[in-house]
Amino acid sequence: MYSEYILIVCSTHDFLESTQAVQSLHGSGRGAGTLGRDREIKKLNEEIDRLKKKLADSDRLEHQLEEAVTLRQDFESSSSKLKALDKQVKALKLEKEDIHKVWVTGELNYQPFLYARTAFL
C-alpha cells in the first residue's frame, strides 16, 4: 500500500524537475534556438508525458486498491454474519431435537393438544 504512495511522490518529484528544466530551457534558449536545446526540450517533454501517464496509472491502482479493501471488508462482515447465522441454525436444530425427544418419550402430557392444534392450522 505504501509503495503506491512512494511511487506517486517520486513521480510527482520527477515531474516537477522535468517541468522546471523545460521552463528554464525555454527561458534561456529563446535567443539561441539551437538544435541541441530543441532536442533536449523534446526529450524532456516526452519525459513529462511519460511521468503524467505513470501518475495516472498510480491513481488508477490506488483506486483499485481502495475498492479491493472495501470488498474485503464487506466479505469479512458477511462471513462473520454467516457464522453467527450458522450458530443460530445449529442451536435451533438442537432445540428441535430436544422438543422431538420430549414428544416421543411422552415426558409432557401435551401431545394430544399439540397434535390437535397442528392438525387445524
Instruction: Summarize pLDDT for 49-97 with one digit per residue, the tens.
Output: 999 999 999 999 999 999 999 999 999 999 999 999 999 999 999 998 8
At 97 the pLDDT is 87
Non-local (6+) Cβ contacts of 14 within 8 A are 47, 51
For CA atoms 87, 88, 93, 95, the dihedral sign is: positive
At 98 the pLDDT is 85
Average pLDDT, the chain: 78
Whole-structure pTM value: 0.46
How far apart (Å, rounded) are the C-alpha atoms in residues 119 and 121? 6
Judged against a pLDDT cut of 70, whether residue 4 lies above it is answered with no
**DSSP reduced 3-state for 121:** coil
